[in-house]
Copies of this chain bind each other. A is one copy, B any other.
Amino acid sequence: MGCAVRLLLPVAAKRLTTARRLSTSTSPPATAVLYDHHGPPDQVLRVAELPAAEIGDRDVCVRMLAAPINPSDLNRVEGVYPVRPPLPAAVAGYEGVGQVHALGGAVDSALLSPGDWVIPSPPSLGTWQTYIVKPASAWHRVRSDVPPQYAATVTVNPLTALRMLQHFVNLTPGDTLVQNGATSIVGQCVIQLAKLHGLRTINIIRDRPGSEEAKDKLKQLGADQVFTESQLDIKNIKSLLGALPEPALGLNCVGGNAASVILKFLRQGGTMVTYGGMSKKPVTVSTSSFIFKDLSLRGFWLQKWMSSDKVEESRTMIDYLLDLVHEGKLKYEMELTPFSDFRLALDKALGKHGSQPKQVLKF
């Protein structure tokens, strides 16, 4: 009866016809990327077969479709992340998308059925494997008419961008924000989301070969202004604002000088949010920036925010972001690499092949 009802839903046509309803059963054996101790990812990660896992009454077995290699995934393997999995035999990966393969006997079939696309939400460790068994409540059904690499990556980067635009400063159309690391995926999402909400963006990128092309690309996404760091090495940085109002919000994922220039751009009473530190340099702030300019400095960590009582709110935001992807309003470059070429994808993610698009494993 549940199935009959679901056939009326628009997405029903996309579902697998071979519905599996299991009271107790097991998942297929999975192929996974594991590590037994922390260290350099290209040394400690290994691909292995895992035995079939039991599917409990309230569990859902998902066949993974795609999962990205994010820098924070590599940090977790290295052991430099504050949250560590139990070792040995930890499965790497944190976000991804899969397709419902089998439901435990007590799972409400109005919520999930075989063939549905789902993401772990909040994300959780162990997405670099072909089959995953988790409680139904851990999965969030998402639309399946977007490229799988977007559903696989919607949480860590786009949701961070959206949340940072909403959480710290009450921005209204016409307001400006300034960010460094603007060519990152978060940076590109910030530009597009800001544009959609009538906000202006000042974007700071590194000085390197190809920076002119990078500027053009960001402007095509909607960036109002793009500067390389060396262009900002002037006395009166605010003269570069032109007709833009002084920014109320700054987003920092670099640190060091790239953070200092954000502080210079900010208006009286402005806020800078740090969410990364790509330069591995700290943030340095003058006393007068705090006292006379009344700047506030904050931090944002998606994993912490999502682990609080924000699951429903974050799922609604994810649906919104995937709607934007579907409408062609949110895009960023990725490369799908077959899981069988995991070593190649890892080397690309580690920068061994020069600048490469975000690597997304296709299972």
Contacts and interface: CB of A to CB of B under 8 A. Distances in A.
A276 B288 CA distance: 8
Interface residues of A, number: 29
B285 A297 contact: yes
A282 B285 contact: yes
A288 B255 CA distance: 11
What is the copy number of this chain in the assembly?
Answer: 2
A299 B304 contact: no
B294 A296 contact: no
9 contacts: A275-B290, A275-B291, A277-B291, A282-B287, A283-B285, A285-B285, A292-B301, A293-B299, A294-B299
A282 B286 contact: yes
Nearest to A290: B299
A20 interface: no
Given A294-B299, A296-B298, A299-B294, A284 B287 contact: no
Interface of A: 82, 255, 273-277, 280, 282-301, 304
A301 B289 CA distance: 11
Given A283-B286, A283-B287, A292-B299, 9 more contacts: A82-B288, A283-B284, A283-B290, A284-B285, A289-B299, A296-B296, A296-B297, A296-B299, A297-B297
A219 to B, nearest CB: 28
Contacts of A287: 255, 274, 276-277, 280, 282-283
